[in-house]
Amino acid sequence: MFIAQAFKFRHEFWRYIVVSLLIILIHTLAQVPFMVALIFKEGPDILAQGTDQSALFSVLEPNLNLFLLLLPFAAALGALFLLLKAVHGQNRKSITTARPKIDWKRVWFAFGLWGALTLIITLVDYYVSPENYLLNFKLVPFLILVVIAVIFVPLQTSFEEYLFRGYLMQGFGTLAKNRWFPLLMTSVIFGGLHYFNPEVEKIGDIAMVYYIGTGLFLGILTLMDDGLELALGFHAANNLISALLVTADWTAFQTHSIFKDLSDPAAGFDILIPVLVVYPILLFVFAKKYKWTNWKERLFGEVVDTSHAAEMEELGN
């Protein structure tokens, strides 16, 4: 099973704390180029005048802004893989899947499904409410955006999935020896780290329902499917299509996207529908395709350390 694989490696919980702190440090240091670029453009007072985040993210040229915002995630992902090996003696496959090898067909299926649905939903909304959109397309900046986004957005989303649904899911799972605790903890921490996003600043604290709910959805995908593949594909499609298709003045990703959203975001059905309607439907689709069973055990059951038993069996043979 996905979580129980961590028992085969050095899994004392202090190791997870040390690695997490190092990852935070590396991610923070990798934000220095963004800060330097802001100071170079606007002067040192830009970081001390209480400017809201959405305004900070609009200071730089959008493609440069996106690159510098995504750079820390790429650095942190590389650091996570290096520390995983150095501190835990663990390989990347073991925090990706319980299958013999990573199932890339699952990654692409989730990516294609959610990417297509996001595209359809956006185009339908554009057709119904064209006054809420401004055509923002400029060929050369958009092509540069495509290169940056295709390379760096999957690194950003993969870092979040490997950290929360992979690394910390296994860490909390081996600590609590059950599945519900890591599912809850990783979802709350994942949502909590989005609290300082400009979207929350604009919409209000109710936006946390979406972020924590998304964390729960991705955690359920991971536990039910015994691996990160579906979560990796979904998350990459969600952020990549958003970066390329629609931007807004109040989002973290202010890009040279095709459309610009002019509507005033409201806390309501836009927050609740994905969590209460769309995600359950997607879970149903995935469950049917991959024949998921035994939901209670997979989401709430115990995590058993079978590593010693396997070693004894191997010695006996």
d(CA 142, CA 42): 25
pLDDT score of 314 = 46
pLDDT in tens, 75-111: 999 999 999 999 999 999 999 999 999 999 999 999 9
pLDDT in tens, 109-147: 999 999 999 999 999 999 998 998 999 999 999 999 999
pLDDT score of 206 = 85
Residues 116 and 52 sit within 8 Å (Cβ to Cβ): no
pLDDT score of 115 = 96
CA dist list (Å): 119 to 137, 173, 233, 250: 16, 36, 15, 21
pLDDT score of 188 = 96
d(CA 169, CA 188): 12
Entry pTM: 0.92
pLDDT lower than 50: segments of the chain:
310, 312-317
pLDDT score of 312 = 43
pLDDT score of 56 = 76
